[in-house]
């Protein structure tokens, strides 16, 4: 021990050397980049799988809304076809390959009603107007609306009605409309004829005689002879015999025929020269649609109650609802942040007075505010600004409350006092020193405002307090409101908007919760 000590003492001076003479001693630089508040929040947000999935779904819905008019649908916003209103989703490719989206519904028919629809297919197959097409050939037709016919069921014992037989059938709603009378000019007639020979599809079908065997002269689907709706054959003496619905059934046609017995395809109804002469013709509407538009009717989401493409309406509804929600969120953020900051920072009497004001606004039912704005200003300013005003009147309260709480927490901390001692102005202390502390809560509540607005907009539209729908634009709530009285028979009208709203609500809540956790530093390390 003493020996070692002696050795240390007797180290000669020349053996010593300066470790870093002439070098500056500084802290070593960080190898990694510093992780700031936002970056830290981002890292923790990314760990939350549910929120990521939710964010992706929201993005997909947004992309759907913005890309639909350009990519996913062949219709534009003004395209409307009254005959194809309220139709179920239909897509030819999906129908042929996967058997979904066939545009069919299941409905109950009595025999008469069923025969009219079967007749459409038979009539469409009868391209030459011979009247010799059998039931089986008609059922195999491409234009046959009855896709499947169920077994007959006897309904008995119904109070107040006779016993009857019903058939549960699968019906292609796009073909259900069948034939239609149209008045066209001769030039148009020629064009259709030309189109027919090019494509091999038939648009024009023989006209129907208006006689005692024609049940409804305006309904072009009664092309066969009926007696009070029951199909009959008529013999030379004018005696009618009912045709039974059975295999091999042939309906007797009631076509207008010329002297040679050939069916007549047009009737001159008036007009002057070669081009403007008016023709009455009978068209198969499905093929007429193809002639006019160049494609078969197919709507992936079906059509709405007026005949617009539901997918397009949905996209525009999502856009409008989002836009409203976003604007409200931004305005609320601005007002709420300023109000809450002033309240929280100054405290005392200012706080008391401002709290009373927000208390009064907070306790006024939102629905009353929205109603009053609509009643007072909807005719002058339009419904959308009124809705925005209503949201802005009460919407910022939550934000102001949160900011105020944050200010109460931070305003007496030492660093704020230090800033004040150094002569920082109130505005600087508020915005530079205290406000950033509440950024996390503010961003979170900004996001959580969006589902709230989308929900209450849909509610107000549904209740009829706000009427946002026009020809060009619509909102998600308006779509629901449109469907509300008829949706049981056309479930798709309700399904798609309700699905989108539900998805948006779920995803935004998940996303918002994820953000809230990510912005809360006290939760760091708790999850693992």
Partner 1 sequence: MLKYVIKRVVLMFATLFIIVTICFFLIKLLPQDIPQEAAQQEAMMERLKAQGYDKPIYVQYYRYLRNIFTHWDFGTSWKIQKMQPVTELFIERLPPTVLINLYSLLVSLPIGILLGIYAAIKKNKWQDQVISTSVMIFVSVPSYVYAFLVQYFLYFKWGLLPPTVYSLADAGGSWFTFQMFKSMLPPVIALAFGSVASLCRFTRAELTETLTSDYMLLARTKGLTRAQATSRHAMKNAMVPILPMILGGFIDILAGSFIIEQIFSVPGVGQLYLTSINQLDYDVFMMDTVFYTFVGLLAGIVTDLSYGFIDPRIRMGEK
Secondary structure of 195-246 in HEC code, one letter for each residue: HHHHHCCCCEECCECCCCCCCCCCCCCCCECEECCEEEEECCCCCEEECCCC
254 closest CA partner among 110, 143, 119, 109: 119
User: Where in 297-356 is the site for partner 1 (CB under 8 A)?
Assistant: 356
Query: What x-and-dash track marks residues 441-470 binding partner 1 by CB under 8 A?
Result: ----------x---x--xx--xxxx-----
Q: Whole-number minimum distance, CB 489 to partner 1, in Å?
A: 9
For helices 285-293 and 186-199, the axis angle rounded to 10 degrees is 90
Nearest approach in angstroms of CB 361 to partner 1 is: 9
Residue closer to partner 1, measured from CB, 356 or 432: 356
CB atoms closer than 10 angstroms to residue 121: 25
Q: What is the 3-state secondary structure (H, E, C) of 239-284?
A: CEEECCCCCCCECCECECECCCCCECCEEEEECCCCCCCEEEEEEE
Nearest distance from C-beta of residue 501 to partner 1, angstroms: 6
Q: How many residues bind to partner 1 according to rule CB under 8 A?
A: 34
What's the length of the chain? 528
- Cβ proximity of 523 and 517 under 8 Å: yes
- Closest approach of partner 1 to the CB of residue 341, in Å: 23
CB of 502 to partner 1, least distance (A): 5
Q: Which is nearer to partner 1, 69 or 491 (CB)?
A: 491
How far apart, in whole angstroms, are the C-alpha atoms of residue 150 and residue 237? 37
User: Which residue lies nearer to partner 1 by CB, 356 or 409?
Assistant: 356
Can residue 372 be called a binding residue for partner 1 (CB under 8 A)?
Answer: yes
Q: How far is the CB of 46 from partner 1 (least distance, A)?
A: 20
Residue with tokens 């239609």: 180
Using the rule CB under 8 A, give the single segment among 168-176, 200-208, 364-372, 519-527 that binds partner 1.
364-372
Q: What is the dihedral of CA 303, 141, 206, 128, to 10 degrees?
A: 150
Q: 1 or 488: whose CB is closer to partner 1?
A: 488
Give dist(CA 457, CA 322) in Å, integer.
Answer: 10
Nearer to partner 1, 219 or 393 (CB): 393
For residues 38 and 498, the answer to whether their CB atoms sit within 8 Å is: no
Comparison of 209 and 505: residue with beta carbon closer to partner 1: 505
152 lies in the binding site for partner 1 (CB under 8 A)? no
Does 412 engage in binding with partner 1 (CB under 8 A)?
no
Q: Which range touches partner 1 (CB under 8 A), out of 143-151, 205-213, 362-370, 410-418?
A: 362-370
Q: Which is nearer to partner 1, 344 or 451 (CB)?
A: 451
CA distances (Å), origin 523, targets 79, 248, 514? 53, 77, 12
Tokens representing 206? 């023989």
Contact residues for partner 1, defined by CB under 8 A: 356, 359-360, 363-365, 367-368, 371-372, 375-376, 451, 455, 458-459, 462-465, 480, 484, 487-488, 491, 494, 498, 501-502, 505-506, 508-510
């Amino acid at each position: 021990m003493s020996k070692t000590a002696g050795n240390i003492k007797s180290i000669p001076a020349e053996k010593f050397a300066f470790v870093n003479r002439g070098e500056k001693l500084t802290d070593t630089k960080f190898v990694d980049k510093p992780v700031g508040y936002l970056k830290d929040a981002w890292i923790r947000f990314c760990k939350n799988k549910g929120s990521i999935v939710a964010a992706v779904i929201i993005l997909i819905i947004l992309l759907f809304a913005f890309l639909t008019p350009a990519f996913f649908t062949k219709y534009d916003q003004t395209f409307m076809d009254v005959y194809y209103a309220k139709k179920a989703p239909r897509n030819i490719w999906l129908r042929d390959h996967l058997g979904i989206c066939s545009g069919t519904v299941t409905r109950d028919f009595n025999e008469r009603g069923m025969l009219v629809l079967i007749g459409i297919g038979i009539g469409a197959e009868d391209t030459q107007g011979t009247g010799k097409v059998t039931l089986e050939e008609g059922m195999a037709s491409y234009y046959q609306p009855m896709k499947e016919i169920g077994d007959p069921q006897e309904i008995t014992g119904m109070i107040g009605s006779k016993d009857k037989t019903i058939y549960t059938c699968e019906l292609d709603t796009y073909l259900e409309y069948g034939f239609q009378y149209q008045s066209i000019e001769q030039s148009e007639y020629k064009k259709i004829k030309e189109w027919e020979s090019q494509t091999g599809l038939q648009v024009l079908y023989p006209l129907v005689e208006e006689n005692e065997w024609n049940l409804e002269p305006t309904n072009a689907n009664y092309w066969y002879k009926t007696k009070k709706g029951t199909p009959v054959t008529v013999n030379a003496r004018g005696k009618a015999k009912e045709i039974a619905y059975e295999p091999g059934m042939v309906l007797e046609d009631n076509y207008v025929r010329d002297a040679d017995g050939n069916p007549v395809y047009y009737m001159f109804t008036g007009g002057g020269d070669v081009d403007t002469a008016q023709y009455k013709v009978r068209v198969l509407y499905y093929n007429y649609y193809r002639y006019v538009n160049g494609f078969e009717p197919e709507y992936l989401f079906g059509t709405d109650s007026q005949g617009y493409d539901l997918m397009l309406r949905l996209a525009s509804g999502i856009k409008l609802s989002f836009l409203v929600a976003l604007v409200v969120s931004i305005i609320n953020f601005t007002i709420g942040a300023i109000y809450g900051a002033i309240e929280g920072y100054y405290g005392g009497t200012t706080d008391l007075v401002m709290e009373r004001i927000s208390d009064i606004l907070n306790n006024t039912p939102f629905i009353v505010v929205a109603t009053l704005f609509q009643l007072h200003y909807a005719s002058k300013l339009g419904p959308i600004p009124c809705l925005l005003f209503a949201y802005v009147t009460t919407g910022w309260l939550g934000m102001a409350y949160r900011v105020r709480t944050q200010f109460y927490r931070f305003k007496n901390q030492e660093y704020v006092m230090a800033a004040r001692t150094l002569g920082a102005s109130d505005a600087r202390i508020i915005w530079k020193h205290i406000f950033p502390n509440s950024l996390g809560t503010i961003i979170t509540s900004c996001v959580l405002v969006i589902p709230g607005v989308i929900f209450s907009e849909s509610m107000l539209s549904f209740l009829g307090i706000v009427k946002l729908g026009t020809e060009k634009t619509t909102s998600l709530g308006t779509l629901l409101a449109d469907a509300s009285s008829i949706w049981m028979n056309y479930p798709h009208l309700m399904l798609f908007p309700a699905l989108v709203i539900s998805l948006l609500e779920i995803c935004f809540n998940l996303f918002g919760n994820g953000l809230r956790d990510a912005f809360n530093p006290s939760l760091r390390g708790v999850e693992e």
